[in-house]
Amino acid sequence: MPQLCFTDLSSFSRTAKRDGLPLALTAEEQAGAAFLGLVDGMPFILGDDGSYDHHLNRFFRTCPTLGVRSMNSLRAYARDILVWMRFLQERCDGKSLWAACREDIAAFHEARRLSDPPFRISAASWNRAVASLDKLYRWALDEKIITSVPFAYRQSWAYPSKPALSQPGTTNCAREKGARKGDVRFLDLEGFKAFRDVGLRGRLPDGTEDPAWRGRNGERNALFAELLITTGLRLQEASSLMLFELPDLASMQGKAAKSVAFRLAAATAKGGRGRDIRLPVRLIAELRALVAIERDVSLGRNTRKGMVQLGERAIAVAGYEHRALRIGPPERASRVTVDQLSAADRHRLVDAATGAPLVLWLTEDGRSMSMAAWEAIFLRASARCRDMGLRDMHVTPHMLRHSFAVHMLSLLLREQIGWVTGEAAHPFGAAWRRVIGDPLLKLQRLMGHARIESTYIYLDHLAEAQEIVDAGVDAFDLGLASKEQAR
C-alpha cells in the first residue's frame, strides 16, 4: 500500500540500524540531499513498492505557491491524496494516480459517501478531499502531466461588492452543496477541566490523585492546553513560541491588568498574518515557574553540549533583544527579527553558549516539542478520559481554539449588550451593528481570520447566541418605549 511520510532533515546526519547493521548517509549523499532544497516536515508519498513519484511529490513542494502555505493544510492534502491512491489500487485494479477518470471519481464517491454509516464520511470531509484532488489535477494539467482531469465542472459567477467586476469561474460538480461550511467541535469549560485534569494531569474523575498514573509531564501538558484555550492560538503558533518572547512580569508589578498584549510573529501564523493576542498574567506566571523547574530538568537530562541538539542544522543565536535575535558567531552576528523566523526555523534555534533550544516547550531529553508530539499527547489524554468513563471525549489542539472562539464570542456579546444598553438608545440598525458587528470583528482579530466569514461560523455554534441577541433587542425596545411614554 502507498505510504505517507514526512521529511525529517535532522535524520540525515543520524545513524540508523537495519537488521543489526548501522546505516548512515555519506557526506556526499548529505550534500546532495541539501542541494535538493528539501523542506523539513514536507509530506511525500511512496508507492507500495517503495517507489518515489517525482511528479506527485513535486506537487507537494509547489503547493506553497498554489496558496497552500500552512504545513497542517499541506499534510491534510497529502492524507486525502493517499486515501485516493489506496482506493485506486484496491478498487480500480491498481490504476495509476495519473490515469484516473470520471468513472473512478464516481466509484470513489459511492464508497466514501454512499456506504454504510460506519464507513461513510461527512459531506464536509468529502468536499475537503475533492478540493485536494482538484488542486492536484489542475496543477498536473497545467504541467502537461495529464491531458484531462477526472472531474466535471459547471460555470459559476462570483459577485464582488461591485457587480461590474463580476468574474466567471468554474465549480467542481463533485462538491456537495449540503455540506456544512464549518465543522466546529468545542468543549464547555467543565469538559475542558475534565480533559485537563483527568487526561493530561492523570487524576481520577473525582479530582483525587491516581496511584497508577505514571506520566511525568502532566503540568507541562496542562499548561499547553490552557495556553490554547485561553488565547485561541493554532497548534503551530503555540508550539513555536520562544522562551525569551514571554512577557516580563517584573514590569507589571503594581498593575491590576489580568492579561497583557502579545504580538504573534507573522511567520508563525497562518497566511503570514501576525496579530495581537492577550496572554493571561496568571498563565505567564505559571509558564515562568515551568521554565524555572521542569525545563531546566529536561535540559539537564540532555548531556550533549554545544550544537548537538539538532546537529549541523542548528542555528546558533549569540543573543536576543526585543523581537530580534543575533544569529551567527558573536563577532559577525546578523540581526534577524522574530517576524522573519518560521515555525521550522524556531525549532532549530539554540543558544550559542549552551546549545539549549530557544523554543519554550521541550521534551524530557531537552529537545523541542514537535506538533506531531502534541497531537499524540492529546490522543492519549482523550483515550484515558474515555477509559475513565468520560465518553465522547475526543479532544484535539484545534478543538481548543474553537472552544476559545465560542466562549470569547459569548463574553464579547454579553459585554457589548451591557455597554450599548447602558447608553442612550440608538436607532435599531446602529444597535444591531454594535451588538453583532463589533464582537465579531474583535474575535476575527484575535483569531487571525483573513475574512470575517470565517468568524461567522461561531455564531451558528453559540448555543445562547439567539437568546443574547433577543435579550439585547428587548432591552432596546424597552428603552425606546420608555422614552415614548415620557413624551
Q: What does the pLDDT look like over 188-209, one tens digit per residue?
A: 888 999 999 999 999 999 999 9
CATH (residue range 3-152):
1.10.150.130
Percent of the chain with pLDDT over 90: 34
Q: What is the pLDDT of residue 360?
A: 92
166 contacts: CB under 8 Å, gap ≥ 6: 157, 158, 159, 160
Residues contacting 270, CB < 8 A, separation 6+: 69, 70, 234, 236, 448
More confident residue, 182 or 13: 13
Enumerate the H helices of 315-450 as residue ranges: 343-346, 371-387, 397-421, 428-432, 438-447
β-pairing, 153-158 vs 349-351, is unpaired
What pLDDT is attached to residue 430? 52
Percent of the chain's residues with pLDDT above 70? 81
Least Cα distance to 266 among 258, 257, 256, 275 occurs for 275
If you average pLDDT over each of 142-146, 241-245, 451-455, which comes out highest? Answer: 142-146
Q: What is the pLDDT of residue 157?
A: 59
Query: In this predicted structure, what is the pLDDT of residue 293?
Result: 80
Nearest C-alpha neighbor of 345 from the set 321, 322, 317, 366:
317
* pLDDT for residue 72 is more than 90: no
Provide mean pLDDT across the span 161-171.
57
Higher pLDDT, 387 or 250: 387
* CA 391 – CA 219 distance, rounded (Å): 23
pLDDT at 462 > cutoff 70:
no
Task: State the Cα–Cα distance between residues 329 and 325, nearest whole angstrom.
Answer: 12
pLDDT for 159 beyond 70 = no
Domain spans of the chain, in order of start: 3-152, 189-387, 397-486
Nearest one of 251, 226, 196 to 361, comparing CA atoms? 226
**DSSP code at position 331:** G
Nearest by Cα to 270 from 14, 67, 28: 67
Residue 384 pLDDT greater than 90, yes or no: yes
Q: Which amino acid is at 212?
A: A
| Structure confidence at residue 110 as a pLDDT band (50, 70, 90) | very high
> What average pLDDT does the segment 347-373 reach?
87
Query: Mean pLDDT for the chain?
Result: 81
Out of 114-123, 124-133, 199-208, which region has the weakest mean confidence (pLDDT)? 114-123
- The reported pLDDT for the residue numbered 340 is 86
Q: Which residue has the higher pLDDT, 382 or 312?
A: 382
Query: Is the pLDDT higher at 139 or at 452?
Result: 139
Do residues 260 and 281 make contact, with C-beta atoms less than 8 angstroms apart? Answer: yes
Q: Which CATH class is domain 189-387?
A: mainly alpha
Going by their DSSP bridges, the two strands 259-264 and 3-6 should be labelled as unpaired
pLDDT digits (tens, 9 = 90+) for 215-249: 889 999 999 999 999 999 999 999 999 988 888 87
- Exposed, middle or buried, 162 (CB in 10 Å: 0-12/13-18/19+)? exposed
